Structure 1
Amino acid sequence: MNVPLVLPEFLDRAVRLYGDKPAVYCDERVFTYRQLNERVNQLSHGLKDLGVKKGDRVAYLPPNTLEMLEGFYGVFQLGAIMVPLNIRLKPEDYLFILNHSESKVLFVDQDIYHLIEPVKEQLETIEHIIVQYKADETNEIDYNEWLSTYPKTTFTRAELDENDVCSLLYTSGTTGNPKGVMLTHRNNYLHALCTMHHLRVTDKDVYLHVLPMFHVNGWGSPFYYTANGATHICLKSATPESIFNAIQEHKVSVLHMAPTVLNSLLQFYEKNILEIEQDVRVVIAGSAPPPAFVTRVEKELGWEFIQVYGMTESAPLSLVSSILAQLDLLSPGEKARMKAKAGYPMIGSDVRVINENGEEVVHDGKEIGEVVTRSHGVMQGYWKNPEATMETIRNGWLHTGDMGTIDEHGYIDIVDRKKDIIISGGENISSIEVEGVLYEYLGVLEAAVIAVPHEKWGETPHAFVVPREGHSITEAEIIAFSREKLAHFKAITGVTFVEELPKTASGKIQKVHLRNEYWNSHGKTGRFIN
């Protein structure tokens, strides 16, 4: 008899094998896997009592907490669909997503409730709002009081099929409204099996939740770390200080984050040299970092650097940049360059780089094409948006919108998003490549490069730079440095100094806001607004 690949099995396994082992640390609280399972059962009983049934959507708006983690399994036992929400959106964004998803129940953290309150009366399908860590003045259901009224006994699950949609994740839209990505139990289950292999997850791991659980690379962690009986460390607020404190206190062995967050940890470590005894793996998703960045992480922090690549629509990960055995004799500098790439396909993912004719580009690390993938993780489609689904998935291939190259070893290097490629005098320039050079300049803390119009060349690279504290740098110096390190047509032609760069909740730099800022400051609109 075939056993369906459904996600509650992961927690079942952890309870059977690791029932008395610490499963979750959150604030000053600690719960074993057996206790976590009891809370999950209480949640499922409670949701059923509220009328939630198979196929209903249940929305979550908390930071990384025990309550968020247990929500996944509590919702899944009913065959309901989890709708995790980005904690850094605006009230009108929540209004759209909650109404578009037709969510029935909303769980929200007290610290974020003020973003729901202005639109509460406009929510069309939400029947119950339940507040976690509720303050006395908030007139809603208190989560812990509500949960405590339900039994910890085994919950009789809905009949689950591996092709049932279990999660609905809304991508942040820079144009139009966000799109809801439908992922199935099978998507997430097989992705977890693949990822736990490539990230070498074991029951000895202690995982620190830095990336938000609603985020694409944070999304899978409740599955593959739970399945292996690893210990979860939840942080409501992930600052450099709190991250390092948790790493030391709990002997954290693995954490996922965006490059900008890792950069902030490096800056903190420079001023606060800390002793970390255990081996640590840091998994980075986002724009490819410069090789010098990889070297700093591995030499200064002593952590193993693992670059991964993916997107919400592929559940998410497709590529990993670990060093293949046959490349182990490369020099440290060459290894750093390989690790800085997006990497080679994970098991179960067929990832290619194709030209405009749909043909694979030459494996020379030079010819640029679009990255496409087909895998067990590719979404079922966009919720209530068949047009966007057909535009993104064509002939069985998910078109990522990312442009890349592939080298003779099979490593893919993301050079830019389609919209971020700079075309100067007919030449394609990768903003990521230019940013990598700027990060080598001592006085640069953070940098982002966009295209700006140029009378002669059409477009040229322009840098937004956050100066490093205690360093005085000028536009002329940075331009001269980029001209020394790059072909002249790739060098930046202007610099805007800023105190900080706009980022998503996961730490990804939002270049669309930089383009808008540039145009607004120059009294124009339109061309580069996405």
Structure 2
Amino acid sequence: MSVLSYEPLTPTSFLQRSAAVFGPRLAVVDGDLGLTYAELWQRVQRLAGGLAEAGVRPGDKVAVLATNGHLLLESTFGVPAAGAVMVPLNIRLSAAELAYILGHAEVSVLLHDDELAGLAKAAAEQSAATPRLVSGTAYESMIETARELFVPVTDELSPLSINYTSGTTGRPKGVVYHHRGAYLQALAMALHTRLEAASSYLWTLPMFHCHGWCFPWAVTLAGARHVCLPKVDPGEAWRLVRAHRVTHLCGAPTVLTSLLAHPDAPDRELDPRPLACVGGAPPSPALLRRALKAGIDVVHLYGLTETYGPAVICQPQPEWRGLDADEYAVLAARQGVGNVIAQPLRVVAGDGSDVPADAATVGEIAVRGNDVMIGYHRDPAATEQAAPDGWFRTGDLGVMHPDGYVRLVDRAKDVIISGGENIASVEVENVLTAHPAVQEAAVVARPDEHWGEVPVAFVTLAPGAAATESELIQHVRARLAHFKAPRAVHFGDLPKTSTGKIQKTVLRRRAAG
């Protein structure tokens, strides 16, 4: 191929361009800190230089444990600028869970916020990787003194990052992203959400989750403004929306629910009118009505860690605008169609054939395209199982509508999605049954108006043993991230099939009741 017609794709090039085109424009607002695009590009190059001076070589793994702020945003560009592979870490995980990820990814350096120093230190001490720790304070010193560096990408299909799942089958899996996929997914997000230089993006979505659905790169390529929010505080969020004329935000439906329930929520249309992208669960008709009343447009996105975030969008049709709220909600709450860089969605039967597009026949949702992972890090067997015929099986069950839009009807296995976070029931069950008083345990989802779903446990105690609900909940909280702990524990015999399998469908009905 002629070198005149080909340049390897990498999302870091978006910042390089925006620094040249939008240099003086405000790029980042993080509390009292403001950075222009020229300043952001300089800091990113110095981060790359500092990592190289610390011994990081191309292909090495650099983990980042930070809230939504300039350190995490800069690392999203600076780690690949050093030729290294980034490993974003979920700040809600326990030290033991983080230690596993650090070891499995073979991390050599861990960048972290100062306020997360205790968690970072505990994780590093328990990890087989023994990474070098760089605190937020040390990070700033490194930025001040390091030389500028930018390592060109020669292979666009080389690893950019490893994003770990929430461990829906027990241990989390490391999902490997490549430069090409991140570049194209960022373009897709910018196009579908109509980002432009005048846009202002509020970080209500965790930036560590699927690289913030690739919006760090999407916002940057548009020359728009990043407005950082370390945690979802509705009052502070509305202050920032008004102060910075926010046009875009993302998150689970629970995030939008919290914002709209706050006293500072608008009671009429804002100027500019924000677009809220929701994923993790479909927005309810009631939520869509509340958002529209507040002057907020909502678009539903669907995807997984394995698909760089939203591989699917419920593409609004112009004709939907004339519908009443209830009719609109039925259409807008579907998962939708593949985004512009994805292949058309499929819903497949067990033999791999497509189910009829009748909005009734259930199959498994399968995806393919530029926004599907390279594979699972150090797990070729799981990679092969996930895509046996070149189509990635999402594990979600859905139906295909005649208009080509997919609607999710159930989640395969027993994954609980609470506030956009995946919880593996087997992981919680294993912790519960490790308690000396517990003989058997089953964990299922209970519907929740705020979180969508929350985990609840059904427990059979060992003969002669005793334990309280609060004792078992605390037992789980001490060993796993707190959001994974059951909200309630019910004691008694567990319903089983003739072969001895626990009937979770029965337990889900009990939990819902």
Q: 2:381 aligns with which of 372, 384, 387?
A: 387
Task: Deviation per CA, 1:460-507: give whole Å up to 9, x if none.
Answer: x98555699xxxxxxxxxxxxxxxxxxxxxxxxxxxxxxxxxxxxxxx
What is the CA-CA distance between 1:147 and the residue it aligns to? 2.1
**Contiguous gaps of at least 5 residues in structure 2:** 426-443, 452-481, 496-500, 509-513
Task: Deviation per CA, 1:128-182: give whole Å up to 9, x if none.
Answer: 20111x4xxxxxxx2212321224x4x2424432011001000011442110000
Distance of 2:163 and 2:305 partners within structure 1 = 7
Distance of 1:419 and 1:146 partners within structure 2 = 46
| 1:173-252 alignment runs, 5 A limit | 173-216=167-210, 218-252=212-246
Q: 1:30 to 1:400 in 2, by over 3 A?
A: same
Distance of 2:222 and 2:181 partners within structure 1 = 18
What is the CA-CA distance between 1:199 and the residue it aligns to? 1.3
Number of equivalences: 447
| 1:386-465 alignment runs, 5 A limit | 386-420=380-414, 463-465=446-448
SS in 1 for 2:368: strand
What is the CA-CA distance between 1:522 and the residue it aligns to? 3.5
| 1:266-415 alignment runs, 5 A limit | 266-269=260-263, 276-299=270-293, 301-325=294-318, 327-350=320-343, 351-415=345-409
What is the CA-CA distance between 1:265 and the residue it aligns to? 1.2
Amino acid in structure 2 at the alignment position of 1:317? P
Distance of 2:26 and 2:176 partners within structure 1 = 32
What is the CA-CA distance between 1:401 and the residue it aligns to? 0.5
Amino acid in structure 1 at the alignment position of 2:142? W
Distance of 1:259 and 1:405 partners within structure 2 = 22
Distance of 2:485 and 2:127 partners within structure 1 = 28
1:20 alignment counterpart: 24
What is the CA-CA distance between 1:295 and the residue it aligns to? 1.5
SS in 2 for 1:121: helix
Distance of 2:268 and 2:318 partners within structure 1 = 32
1:9 alignment counterpart: 13
1:78 alignment counterpart: 82
2:98 alignment counterpart: 94
Q: 2:257 aligns with which of 263, 266, 270?
A: 263
| 1:55-70 alignment runs, 5 A limit | 55-70=59-74
The sequence identity of aligned pairs, in percent, is 33
CA contact (8 A) 1:217 1:256 kept: no
Distance of 2:268 and 2:329 partners within structure 1 = 24
Amino acid in structure 2 at the alignment position of 1:394? P
2:476 alignment counterpart: none
Distance of 1:168 and 1:59 partners within structure 2 = 9
CA contact (8 A) 2:48 2:150 kept: no
| 1:481-520 alignment runs, 5 A limit | 514=486, 517-518=488-489
What is the CA-CA distance between 1:359 and the residue it aligns to? 2.0
Q: 1:23 to 1:148 in 2, by over 3 A?
A: same
CA contact (8 A) 2:48 2:78 kept: yes
Task: Deviation per CA, 1:363-419: give whole Å up to 9, x if none.
Answer: 222221110001101111000011111111111000000111121211111112112
Q: 1:251 to 1:99 in 2, by over 3 A?
A: same
Amino acid in structure 2 at the alignment position of 1:385? D
What is the CA-CA distance between 1:99 and the residue it aligns to? 0.8
CA contact (8 A) 1:6 1:161 kept: no
Q: 1:463 to 1:85 in 2, by over 3 A?
A: closer
Amino acid in structure 2 at the alignment position of 1:204? A
SS in 1 for 2:184: helix
| RMSD of equivalent CA atoms | 3.2
1:44 alignment counterpart: 48
Amino acid in structure 1 at the alignment position of 2:401? D
Amino acid in structure 1 at the alignment position of 2:306? E
Amino acid in structure 1 at the alignment position of 2:351? N
Q: 1:146 aligns with which of 142, 146, 166?
A: 142
Amino acid in structure 2 at the alignment position of 1:61? L
Distance of 1:79 and 1:48 partners within structure 2 = 9
What is the CA-CA distance between 1:197 and the residue it aligns to? 1.3
Task: Deviation per CA, 1:254-287: give whole Å up to 9, x if none.
Answer: 0001111111112114888588332100000111
Distance of 2:272 and 2:110 partners within structure 1 = 39
Q: 2:110 aligns with which of 88, 106, 110?
A: 106
CA contact (8 A) 1:75 1:81 kept: yes
Distance of 2:199 and 2:246 partners within structure 1 = 7
Amino acid in structure 1 at the alignment position of 2:491? S
Amino acid in structure 2 at the alignment position of 1:318? A
Which TM-score applies when normalising by structure 1?
Answer: 0.78
What is the CA-CA distance between 1:513 and the residue it aligns to? 5.2
CA contact (8 A) 1:323 1:335 kept: no
CA contact (8 A) 2:121 2:133 kept: no
What is the CA-CA distance between 1:118 and the residue it aligns to? 2.7
CA contact (8 A) 2:175 2:376 kept: yes
Which TM-score applies when normalising by structure 2?
Answer: 0.80
Whether 1:166 aligns to 2:170 is no
SS in 2 for 1:34: helix
Q: 1:217 to 1:68 in 2, by over 3 A?
A: closer
Distance of 1:467 and 1:25 partners within structure 2 = 29
Amino acid in structure 2 at the alignment position of 1:13? R
Distance of 1:230 and 1:174 partners within structure 2 = 35
Amino acid in structure 2 at the alignment position of 1:387? A
